[in-house]
Amino acid sequence: MATENQDSIQTAADKYRSFLHEEAHNTEWRHGGPPIYDDVNKLFEQGRTKEWPKGSLEEVVQNALKSWEMEMSHKTRLEDFRTINPEKFKLIVNGREGLSAEETLKMGSYNALLKSSMPEEYKYYKADEESFESSHDAFRMALPRGFAWEVISVYSGPPLIAFKFRHWGYFEGPFKGHAPTGDLLQFYGIGILKVDESLRAEDVEIYYDPSELFAGLLKGPLISGSEHTDASTHKCPFNA
């Protein structure tokens, strides 16, 4: 969500995401100004299972990943990024070929994380057919309170940080023709983050099971009149 009055927002820094309001006038924002995270911060604080001590390794890693996601979702130029080393950055999801910073920024974090090598008939979500905007619109509509993220454990410190995470939200809006259920959707995963001496990410590896997410999103009944009403066109193995 963008804000129209950038000057008034600059003083209200987000406590979980660094660089959000620093040098805001020199940053090219996707929606005209820095985003506001009030709703998802509230969801995070109400639903988190861990509250890490200030300054702990776990808190540093958690906030670093939140800041990285913020930049990927809301900044449009790699030169404005503060959380990654653009020349070396690679995003690797479930062992697939790594994406460069430019490729990840172009397709968007949702498409990068949900790209699949499954047979076409089992691909309910086809990342190759989604744009940055359409992917974010789909999940913003399905999860109107946001998609919160927390670190569950950190297994090693920099420069090679291994961690476990949890991602969750409430399915309160339609998704690809499926009616919302109001249920809590969540999944867990493992991440490996390689950082340089300035703690900028060079490699981000993410491992998780997408079925934990899509089983919940496709649970809702198909909405009459939706372009997705013909269920035979999307055979989902997650609900078998």
The angle at the Cα of 205, spanning 121 to 77, to the nearest 5 degrees, equals: 90
Q: What is the DSSP string of 34-94?
A: ----HHHHHHHHHH-S--PPTT-HHHHHHHHHHHHHHHHHHB--GGG-SSB-TTT-EEEET
**What pLDDT was estimated at residue 84?**
96
Please state the pTM of the whole predicted model: 0.86
**What pLDDT was estimated at residue 235?**
38
Q: What residue type is assigned to position 36 of the chain?
A: I
User: Please, which pLDDT band fits residue 116 given cuts at 50, 70 and 90?
Assistant: confident
Contact status, residue 191 vs residue 97, Cβ threshold 8 Å? no
User: Please, which pLDDT band fits residue 124 given cuts at 50, 70 and 90?
Assistant: confident
